[in-house]
Amino acid sequence: MAWNEPGGGKDPWGGNRGNDGPPDIDEALNKLKEKFASFGGGSGGGSGASKGLLPVALLALVVIWGLLGFYQVDEKEQAVVLRLGKYSNTVGSGLHWNPPAIDSVTTVRVTEERQYSARGLMLTQDENIVEISLTVQYNIANAKDFVLSIKDPETSLKQATDSALRHVVGSTGLDGVISTGREQVAVSTAEKLQDLLNVYSSGINVVKINIEEARPPTEVKAAYDDVIKAREDLERLVNEAQAYSNGIIPEARGEAQRLREEAEGYLSQVVSKSQGEAKRFTTLLAEYKKAPEVTRERLYIDAIEQVMSSSTKILMDTEGGNNMLYLPLDKLVQQGNTANLPRGSASDSQMVDRIANEVIEKLQRNSNQIQSERRR
């Protein structure tokens, strides 16, 4: 029979249930307290049960509190410890313990290289607008400063980057930003940004700034492209001219050096020849003083020999007559060469001797002929 049916037995709270209504809640709670009290010390009453449960509860709380204080710091991290809101210390990698609710621990990855990208329109020194896209690579150099000195280090980094970039671009011309000095703009911006971060003790170390893109606004990009193309053509022409100069100048210098050496050689030759002629003249003068007639005759013969050696035709005036003798030496030499071709063994000296003999014979015949005519 169910307990709630008429005439039923005991209710689930351990007491008899009358037929006049539901069980008494206060009575049920008191019986439940008595059962819990029996676990803490028997029949000592409610106060004894509370005293028995208190140490166990405190011990459990202490154990849980102690376990919650253990934490692990990785190799790439550092932990900043605050005790009651005040900086205590900075710990490295390993297993550490700090009292919970007294110390607060903030872990920071210090060796990780982070990256931040930015893009914006800047005004250059020559009052031109340029659009720049850059990437900032940085890491955490001081975990304490990174956590405590600035409320929001990432936002401060973005604002400082924008300020440093505008300062550097504002003191550089458009050509320097777009093409020739882009690398220097990146280096100067990194230095300026690091100075600003050090002023605020941010604990951030700027590793490098990369300018990914620097170009004029889209509205005037076509005009700037023409300017850049013209500048590239100018550089190409200058390089070609420099290459031509590098090729022609050494050649001209070599030619000038050759002419200079030839001139010096000619000068040395002329001076030596002049000195020799002067010395020979001095010697001849001494000989002339000793024997004027002989020396004069010898000089005359040497001069005639020198003149005749370079002449191919000779005209000789016969003494006592109006006839002039013509001796074509070139023709005679040519006839002599033709006559000697079959032999192939006559030397030049023999040929000259033969021609001379022929000339002498011809002169003798002409002289005899002239004498015969005179006798008649």
What confidence score (pLDDT) does residue 182 get? Answer: 82
61 residue type, one letter: L
Q: Is residue 304 part of a domain?
A: no
Q: Is residue 299 part of a domain?
A: no
Asked if residues 89 and 143 have their Cβ atoms less than 8 Å apart, the reply is no
Q: Are residues 126 and 180 in the same domain?
A: yes
Q: Are residues 131 and 211 in the same domain?
A: yes
* Reduced 3-state DSSP string for 198-224: HHCCCCEEEEEEEEEEEECCHHHHHHH
Q: How many domains does the chain have?
A: 4
Q: Is residue 46 part of a domain?
A: yes
Cα dihedral 104, 105, 106, 112, rounded to 10, equals 180
Higher pLDDT: 66 or 247? It is 247
What confidence score (pLDDT) does residue 149 get? Answer: 82
What confidence score (pLDDT) does residue 373 get? Answer: 64
Query: What's the rounded mean pLDDT across residues 346-357?
Result: 63
Q: Is residue 182 part of a domain?
A: yes
What confidence score (pLDDT) does residue 353 get? Answer: 66
Report which of 254, 136, 120, 277 is spatially closest to residue 196, judged by C-alpha positions: 136
Higher pLDDT: 268 or 95? It is 268
Q: Is residue 357 part of a domain?
A: yes
Q: Are residues 33 and 99 in the same domain?
A: no
pLDDT band at 346 (very low <50, low <70, confident <90, very high): very low
Query: What's the rounded mean pLDDT across residues 90-110?
Result: 77
How far is residue 63's CA from residue 103's CA, in Å, rounded to a whole number? 17
pLDDT of 134 > 50? The answer is yes
Q: Are residues 48 and 92 in the same domain?
A: no
Residues 6+ apart with CB under 8 A from 366: 318, 323, 325
- 79: tokens are 């932990």
pLDDT of 324 > 80? The answer is no
Q: Are residues 93 and 146 in the same domain?
A: no
Q: Are residues 159 and 208 in the same domain?
A: yes
Q: Is residue 338 part of a domain?
A: yes
Q: Over the stretch 178-202, which tens digit does the pLDDT of each residue have?
A: 777 788 888 898 999 999 988 888 8
Q: Is residue 262 part of a domain?
A: no
Lowest mean pLDDT among 132-136, 171-175, 209-213: 171-175
Query: What's the rounded mean pLDDT across residues 113-129?
Result: 84
Higher pLDDT: 144 or 267? It is 267
Q: Are residues 143 and 209 in the same domain?
A: yes
Tokens 């020396």 locate to 295
How far is residue 374's CA from residue 325's CA, in Å, rounded to a whole number? 17
Query: What's the rounded mean pLDDT across residues 129-144?
Result: 87
CATH code of 127's domain: 3.30.479.30
Q: Are residues 102 and 149 in the same domain?
A: no
Strand partners, 89: 81
pLDDT band at 175 (very low <50, low <70, confident <90, very high): confident
Cα dihedral 261, 265, 266, 268, rounded to 10, equals 140
What confidence score (pLDDT) does residue 268 get? Answer: 92
Q: Give the CA count within 13 Å in the CB-facing half-sphere of 351.
A: 18
Q: Is residue 243 part of a domain?
A: no
pLDDT band at 217 (very low <50, low <70, confident <90, very high): confident
How far is residue 126's CA from residue 181's CA, in Å, rounded to a whole number? 15
Report which of 166, 169, 165 is spatially closest to residue 126, judged by C-alpha positions: 169
Query: What's the rounded mean pLDDT across residues 107-128?
Result: 83
Query: What's the rounded mean pLDDT across residues 159-174?
Result: 88
DSSP 171-182: TS-HHHHHTTTH
How far is residue 150's CA from residue 115's CA, in Å, rounded to a whole number? 19
Q: Are residues 128 and 204 in the same domain?
A: yes
pLDDT of 296 > 80? The answer is yes
Query: Domain containing 203: what range?
Result: 117-216
Q: Are residues 140 and 167 in the same domain?
A: yes
Q: Are residues 104 and 176 in the same domain?
A: no
How far is residue 292's CA from residue 294's CA, in Å, rounded to a whole number? 6
Q: How far is CA 47 from the centre of its chain?
A: 87
Percent of the chain with pLDDT over 70: 70
What are the distances in angstroms from CA 337 to CA 29, 95, 163, 350? 161, 119, 102, 11
Where does the chain have alpha helices with state H? 25-41, 46-67, 143-148, 153-170, 174-178, 182-199, 221-290, 292-309, 329-340, 348-375
Q: Return mean pLDDT, the chain.
A: 76
How far is residue 181's CA from residue 364's CA, in Å, rounded to a whole number? 100
